[in-house]
Structure 1
């Protein structure tokens, strides 16, 4: 917690407003997406989806293959508490929706479904988007799959299994093409994050955006994030503290931006 607090203070000092951005691409991304205050009608659907689990006391067994929980001592957890502690917040879900909408993505890959708050947001981005989401815990995957269907979401494929199994087996078992957006939200381990990123590179293109959640979760996650901002394939990197964005656009020279959202 001390590490996160100190890094947040540093982030505040490093953050800037529009006049401090010299990259036209980042300038437009911040202005028209990160800071977009438009109230989209889909926000109402997202709110209803969140409300559907807000008071749900169903117990789900969590198969934790990552860094573990800082809150829960048991792997049997109520849905409402998973929402509270392990799911994208309403604010972050709206932001992820705007990112997917802004880039008009057609294919999304999410590592870490949980209760599907981000999954649902991505699924609403446009009429042609298809979302693949990987979740290790079978009970969570089943619950979220059924809940999405009950809200008439038919463009999401929930893949039950570990990230490693998906990347090493399922992703290679048949042609998958490339993804327009990849959201890495799970495991929270620096070495694993670097490994997953490198395995996903063959499935990216120059306009793919990679989003990392919880880049300040721990020192090793922060170190991994900083390594990725200097990766040979990465050009622009944007740190908004809660999330990190990585881009491969050739017209952008390699640079790390800190933005307060």
Structure 2
């Protein structure tokens, strides 16, 4: 029944998508148009040569992970469990089309500062860093598992200078307050590390004060659970939010401190 509801909802969005895209295109807001352009580019198979090279680099890295039998332990979470890198990659890494979406949003931002909560194996981070090449910006990403931090940092250093990224290792309860204290404001924040209602809401509330004049928030797995659905409803109705997009797999909100238009919400679908 849940799968039936999901596909019915997605079908409805796909049928109405052109009208939604026209509505978004009619709004003169630079940050919102960045999201729209990234969405359109991610859906197409027509890319510039430099983008294809970047995508191939990232997918080559993914392919290596998918055959990596390194064992990862979860001791930091006080769990007597292990998992292979290849299984973590298969189950938890961001899908290619969603990574392209992130890539294009970063690429279309001048000298972007980015925060990612949930490094995992660094695939989405690799896409965003590929998009940052040649720019002055900073990519900060948070991860609990030390081994995943090491794997990701090694990959990131093949893309950009270590001065352009920071992998923050540790339990989020310990590291998030330290990240918040950093003297940096963000253009893009990708929250993908904790799929629970209260932490996701708390991250958003704390990070609203750590953005530039305008910024994009990306929330992964907004339909993961009833708690995440409730959190997404709270976030998109927040008084600071100007525009929101429900893409089913992800939720996007734009906060622009200079925008005077009434709050607007859109329903889109990028990929299954």
| TM-score normalised by the chain length of structure 2 | 0.83
Moved more, 33-42 or 203-212: 33-42
Please give the residue correspondences for 1:37-48 in structure 2 after superposition, counting only pairs within 5 Å.
37=44, 38-39=46-47, 40=51, 41-48=53-60
Residues 120, 148 of structure 1: 8 Å contact kept: yes
CA distance in 2, matches of 1:217, 1:133: 22
Instruction: Name whichever of 207-216 and 12-21 sits farther off.
Output: 12-21
Distance 1:153 1:48 in 2: 20
Q: In the aligned structure 1, how far is the partner of 2:167 from the partner of 2:125? A: 9
Matched, 1:75 2:81: yes
Q: Deviations over 1:43-102 (max 9, x none)?
A: 12212221221210000113576xxxxxxx973111111110011112211111112112
RMSD of aligned alpha carbons: 2.4
After the TM superposition, list the runs of 4 or more consecutive aligned residues in structure 1 that deviate by more than 6 angstroms.
none
From 164, 167, 177, the equivalent of 2:173 is 164
* 1:132-211 mapped onto 2 (5 Å cutoff): 132-150=140-158, 154=162, 155-172=164-181, 175-211=182-218
Q: Which residue of 1 aligns with 2:95?
A: 89
Contact 1:61-1:75 at 8 Å conserved across structures = yes
CA distance in 1, matches of 2:2, 2:204: 24
Q: Are 2:25 and 1:34 aligned?
A: no
Contact 2:142 2:169 in 1 (8 A): yes
SS in 1 for 2:167: strand
Number of residue pairs matched by the alignment: 251
Is 1:256 the equivalent of 2:265? Answer: yes
**1:22 matched to 2:8:** no
| Residues in 2 aligned to 1:13 and 1:44: alpha-carbon distance in whole angstroms | 33
Structure 2 gap segments, 5+ residues each:
none
Larger mean Cα displacement after TM superposition, 221-230 or 39-48? 39-48
Residue 138 of structure 2 corresponds to: 130
Question: CA separation in 1, counterparts of 2:213 and 2:159?
Answer: 33
Does the 8 Å CA contact 1:62/1:139 hold for their aligned counterparts? no
The equivalent of 1:106 in structure 2 is: 112
Q: Whose helix fraction is larger, Structure 1's or Structure 2's? A: 2
Identify unmatched segments of 5+ residues in structure 1: 66-72
How far did residue 198 of structure 1 move? 0.7
Give me the TM-score of the superposition, normalised by structure 1. 0.86
Q: 1:9: which partner in 2?
A: 8
